[in-house]
Structure 1
Amino acid sequence: MQKLRSKDGCPWDKEQNHASLKPHLVEETYEVIDAIDSGDPAKLKEELADLFFHIIFHCQIATEKGEFDMGSVMALCLDKMTRRHPHVFGDASATTPEEVIHQWEQIKKTEKGYEERKFIVDGLPKHLPALQKAQKLQKKVAKVGFDWTNIQDVIAKVDEELREVKDAIRENKPGHIEEEVGDLLFSVVNLSRFLNFDTENVLHKTICKFVDRFKKVEMELASMGKDIEKCTLEEMDAIWNKVKGSISK
C-alpha cells in the first residue's frame, strides 16, 4: 500500500482519499455478503481479502496524515473486544446470548463518545439501508419496553396501516399516500423483527426468488418463440403461475 501511494506508485491509488473510497468500501462489503450466501469458502476468502485491502488503504491514508496507523487500529480493536467481553477475559458472568448483549450495551454506555448520545434513538448510522435502520431503531426502543406484547397486536397494526394507505389513495393526496406507505413499511419491519427475522435478509430472499422465477418466465416464452416485450400481461401472468406451480411442487 505504501508503494501504491508513493511517488512512483499507481496514479489511481495516489488520488484516493477516505471519501472517494466510500462507494468501493460499500461494494466490497456487499460482495463479502454475496460470498457468504454462496457457501463457497474460496470466494469468501477472496472477497475478505478485497475488503481487508480497503482497511489497509484507509489506514495508509491516515498514516500519511499523521492521524493513526494499522497498528493503532488493531490495538484499539483488541482493547475494545477485551473490555466488552469481561465474561471471557474478566470476572463477569454471562451465560446466555441475551445476557452478553445486555452487558455489551451497558459497557458501551461507559465508553468515550457515548456521552454524545442524549436520546435512546441516537447513534443510528446515517448511511444504513432504510430497512436495517428501521429494524435497529425498533430494537433500540424495545429495550426500554416500547414494544408490542404479542404478535396479534403487531398484525393488527399492519392491517391498520394498510387501511390508512387505502384511505390516502382514495383521497388522492400524493404526500399523504407517501407518508402512509412509509408507515406501512415500518409496521411490516416491526412484524419481521417480532418474528425474529432480519428484514433486509427476508426481502433479499424474496427478490432472489422473483428474479429466478422471472428468468424462467423469459425462458419459457422464448421456447415458445415469443418475444416477452410483445406479450400481454395475461400471457406473462399465465406463464408466471405455471412456473410458480412447478417450483412449489
Structure 2
Amino acid sequence: MNDDHNPPIPEAQIGEFQSLIDIVARLRAPGGCPWDAEQTHESLKRNLLEECYEALEAIDNETPMELAEELGDILVQVAFHADIARQAGSFDIADVLTAINRKLIRRHPHVFADGTASDARQVERNWEQLKAEERRQAGKPDPSAMDSVPVTLPALTAAQLIQDRAARFGFDWDEVDGVLDKISEEIAEFRAAKTESERADEFGDILFALVNLARWSGVHAEDALRQSNGRFRNRYRTMERLARERGLEFSAMALEDKEALWQEAKAVERSAISG
C-alpha cells in the first residue's frame, strides 16, 4: 500500500515523460529500491545495449506494440543515467534535453534557419560540416572523419560507418566492380595465408570488403546478417520439429537426411511467407 509520503503517479499523468523521471528518482531515493539505488553508469552499460538490440528485434519482427515497449525500456535507461548524473552533480535530464534540442536545431539550418539542402545526401554533408565547425569553435583539434565512429560498435556496423565516412570525403571505389574484384583478391590472400595470425588478418579483410559490397548495394550489413541468423535459427527449429514428429533423433541422423530436412524447412518458410 502506498502512503502519503510516496503517493502513486496519478493516472492522468502516467503517460507524461516527467512521470518517468519522477518514478526513477523515487526508485533511487532513500527508501526506494535497493537494486536501483546501487546502479552506476558502468553497471548499466550492458542493459542499455541489450534494450537497444531488443528494440531492433521488434523492428525486424514488425510488431508495433512490442517496439513501443522496447522504446520505453530504452527511455528507462536514459532516465536512470540522467538520475545517476543528477545525484553526482554532473548533469540532469534537463541538460540532456537541452543539449539534444539545441543540437537538432543547430544541425538543421535548412529547416530552422536560412540554410538549404536539396536532398538527403546534402543534409548529411551539411551535418558533418557543422560538426567540424562546432569542434573548431570549441577549440578542439581538427577531427578525423573516423572520430565519429564509436569503437564500441558491433564490428559490421562500425565497418560500414567507417566506409561511409571515407566515401563522403571522396575515398571510395568508382564502381561496384572494384569492390567485387577486391573481394576476390582478399579471398586469394586468405588462401595463401600461412599462419593463424595471417589468416585472421585476411579474413578480417574479406569481411571488410563484403561490408563494402553491402554498402554499395544499399544493404546494411549488420541487419542483413542478423536476419540471416534469424532465418537459420527458424529453419533449424523446423528441422528439429520435423524430426521429432517422425520419431527421429535429430542428432543421430545422417548428414544427407539432415540436408533433406533443411530443404523441407526452407519450403515451409516459403509457404508461410507466400501464404
Q: TM-score, normalised by structure 1?
A: 0.93
Residue 77 of structure 2 corresponds to 54
1: CA distance between counterparts of 2:70 and 2:83? 20
* Structure 1 CA distance for aligned equivalents of residues 256 and 157 of structure 2: 36
Residues 42 and 245 of structure 1: CA distance in aligned 2, closer, same or farther (over 3 Å): closer
Q: How far, CA to CA, are the matches of 1:4 and 1:79 in structure 2?
A: 30
- Which residue of structure 2 aligns with residue 149 of structure 1? 174
CA deviations on 1:164-210 (whole Å, 9 max, x unpaired) are: 11222xx3x21111111111111100100111111101111111111
Assess, with a 3 A threshold, how the Cα gap between structure 1 residues 220 and 114 changes in structure 2: closer, same or farther. farther
Tell me if the contact between 2:132 and 2:143 (Cα under 8 Å) persists in the aligned partners: no
- Distance across 2 between alignment mates of 1:40 and 1:176: 44
Q: How many residues align?
A: 246
Structure 1 Cα separation of the partners of residues 75 and 121 of structure 2? 30
Tell me which moved more, 79-88 or 113-122.
Answer: 113-122
What value does the CA root-mean-square deviation take over the aligned residues?
1.7
User: CA separation in 2, counterparts of 1:146 and 1:53?
Assistant: 40
Q: Select between 151-160 and 118-127 the one with higher mean Cα deviation.
A: 118-127
Give the gaps of 5 or more residues in structure 2.
Answer: 1-23
Aligned to 1:158: 183
TM superposition outliers: structure 1 runs of 4+ over 4 Å: 245-249
Offset of 1:242 from its aligned partner? 3.4
Q: Which residue identity lines up with residue 44 of structure 2 in the other structure?
A: L
List alignment gaps of at least 5 residues for structure 1: none
Equivalence for 2:260: 238
* Structure 1 residue 245 displacement after superposition: 4.8
Q: What is the one-letter code of the residue matched to 1:39?
A: E
1:117 shift after superposition: 5.3
Q: For 1:46, give the aligned amino acid.
A: E
Verify: 1:84 aligned to 2:107, yes or no: yes
Preserved contact between residue 28 and residue 51 of structure 1 (Cα < 8 Å): yes
Residues 59 and 70 of structure 1 are in contact (CA less than 8 Å); yes or no, is this contact kept in structure 2?
yes
Normalising by the residue count of structure 2, what TM-score does the alignment of the two structures yield? 0.84
SS at match of 1:125: coil
Quick one: structure 1 residues 247 and 55, their matched pair in 2 at CA, closer, same or farther if it must change by over 3 Å?
A: closer
Contact map agreement 1:109 1:115 (CA 8 A) in 2: no
Residue in 2 aligned with 1:129?
Answer: 154
Question: Does residue 18 of the first structure (1) align with residue 45 of the second (2)?
Answer: no
In the alignment, residue 8 of structure 1 is paired with which amino acid? G
In the alignment, residue 237 of structure 1 is paired with which amino acid?
E
**Aligned ranges for residues 153-232 of structure 1 at < 5 Å?**
153-168=178-193, 171=194, 173-232=195-254
Cα 1:66–1:80, aligned 2, differ >3 Å: closer, same or farther? Answer: same
Question: Greater CA deviation, 142-151 or 228-237?
Answer: 228-237
Larger CA deviation: 231-240 vs 78-87: 231-240
Separation (CA, whole Å) in 2 of partners of 1:110 and 1:3: 41
